[in-house]
């Protein structure tokens, strides 16, 4: 049977790609964030996952406003990155795992989630940069399943809905009748706001409560409406929904194997957590 070996959650801001391209990982500005991945990579060498299920939000590479799914699951044999318009280098393509994708889609629909299914799907920086942080040589040792949650256009799915989605996804992974080691990745956040007069908004106190809640009480964030969450963490900080869904895939108590929080990376409070049962 398939087993979730752990959950990694991380920020995914595009400037991480710029820092990688310019080899600035050890610059004082970037070091506190990039160093957070050292223990994660050590752990990956031990657990050797076969597949990464990556929960992220597209920023206008694969999806446009003509058709905007709330939840979407990739079911392609391979996924490509492409030019997003502002010039970070693209990364090599990722192998898919269509059999697992369709199993997850079956499980989600049975659990009354109805994702859009994508047999042709570009993956943007929110998918590629976390992968490049986990495997800097970009010689991907895992097959992948992209799982996309809309944070572009409101209404967004509630925190409660995203947590339930993650739990349904986790059950579907656990039910998979293949001997697979599965890593779940949740990307985005933490607090930041790019748009409006409140651009630059960051909320350290809320972020830290949120990170602690993923361990002690994952339902904590579900007390907040989307509007309340945006007020706390910013229009893009709402990407914490990806962390919540990813955390939901692990049933029962979890512990943090490593955790990093650093302000700022670009306009964003950078966060990394590695959680396992």
Partner 1 sequence: MSIAYPKPDIPGTTLFDGEQAMKGFALNKMCFSFNDAANRETFLKDEDAYCARFGLTSPQREAIRNRNVLELIAAGGNVYYLAKFAGIFKLDVQDLGAQQTGMTKDEFKAKLVAAGR
**Which of 110/198 has CB closer to partner 1?**
198
**Which of 68/251 has CB closer to partner 1?**
68
Nearest to 130 by CA among 95, 168, 91, 79: 91
d(CA 84, CA 86): 6
- Distance in Å, CB of 258 to partner 1, minimum: 19
**Which of 100/233 has CB closer to partner 1?**
233
**Which of 155/252 has CB closer to partner 1?**
155
DSSP character string of 202-242? --HHHHHHHHHHHHH-TTGGGGS-HHHHHHHH-TTGGGHHH
Catalytic residues: 125, 192
d(CA 77, CA 119): 8
Pair of tokens at residue 264: 């700022």
Nearest to 119 by CA among 80, 75, 149: 75
Inter-CA distances, 247 with 55, 91, 254, Å: 10, 26, 9
- Distance in Å, CB of 91 to partner 1, minimum: 16
- Whether the CB-CB separation of 207 and 271 falls below 8 Å is answered with yes
**Which of 62/101 has CB closer to partner 1?**
62
Report the interface residues with partner 1, using CB under 8 A. 14-15, 59-61, 64-66, 82-87, 152-155, 193-202, 204, 227-228, 230-231, 235-236, 262-264, 266-267, 269
Inter-CA distances, 25 with 44, 101, 227, 267, Å: 19, 34, 35, 17
- Distance in Å, CB of 238 to partner 1, minimum: 10
- Distance in Å, CB of 209 to partner 1, minimum: 16
CA angle in degrees (0–180, nearest 5) for 9-55-247: 50
Q: At 95, is the secondary structure helix, strand, or coil? A: strand
Nearest to 10 by CA among 276, 267, 260: 260
- Whether the CB-CB separation of 151 and 238 falls below 8 Å is answered with yes
- Distance in Å, CB of 70 to partner 1, minimum: 13
- Distance in Å, CB of 196 to partner 1, minimum: 5
**Which of 86/209 has CB closer to partner 1?**
86
């Amino acid at each position: 049977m398939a087993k979730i070996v752990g959950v990694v959650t991380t920020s995914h801001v595009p400037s991480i790609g710029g820092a990688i391209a310019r080899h600035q990982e050890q610059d004082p500005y970037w070091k506190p964030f990039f160093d957070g991945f050292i223990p994660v990579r050590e752990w990956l060498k031990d657990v050797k996952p076969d597949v990464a299920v990556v929960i992220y939000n597209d920023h206008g590479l694969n999806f446009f406003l003509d058709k905007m799914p709330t939840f979407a699951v990739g079911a392609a044999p391979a996924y490509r990155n492409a030019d997003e318009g502002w010039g970070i280098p693209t990364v090599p393509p990722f192998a898919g795992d269509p059999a697992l994708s369709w199993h997850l889609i079956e499980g989600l629909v049975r659990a009354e989630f109805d994702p859009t299914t994508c047999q042709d799907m570009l993956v943007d920086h929110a998918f590629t940069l976390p992968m490049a942080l986990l495997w800097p040589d970009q010689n991907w040792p895992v097959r992948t399943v992209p799982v996309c949650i809309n944070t572009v256009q409101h209404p967004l799915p509630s925190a409660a809905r995203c947590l339930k989605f993650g739990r349904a996804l986790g059950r579907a992974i656990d039910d998979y009748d293949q001997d697979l080691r599965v890593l779940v990745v949740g990307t985005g956040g933490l607090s930041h706001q790019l748009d409006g007069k409140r651009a630059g908004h960051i909320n350290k106190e809320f972020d830290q409560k949120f990170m602690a809640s993923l361990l002690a009480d994952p339902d904590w964030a579900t007390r907040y409406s989307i509007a309340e969450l945006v007020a706390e963490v910013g229009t893009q900080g709402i990407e914490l929904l990806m962390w919540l869904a990813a955390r939901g895939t692990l049933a029962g108590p979890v512990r943090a194997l490593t955790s990093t929080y650093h302000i700022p990376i670009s306009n964003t409070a950078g966060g990394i957590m590695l959680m396992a049962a």
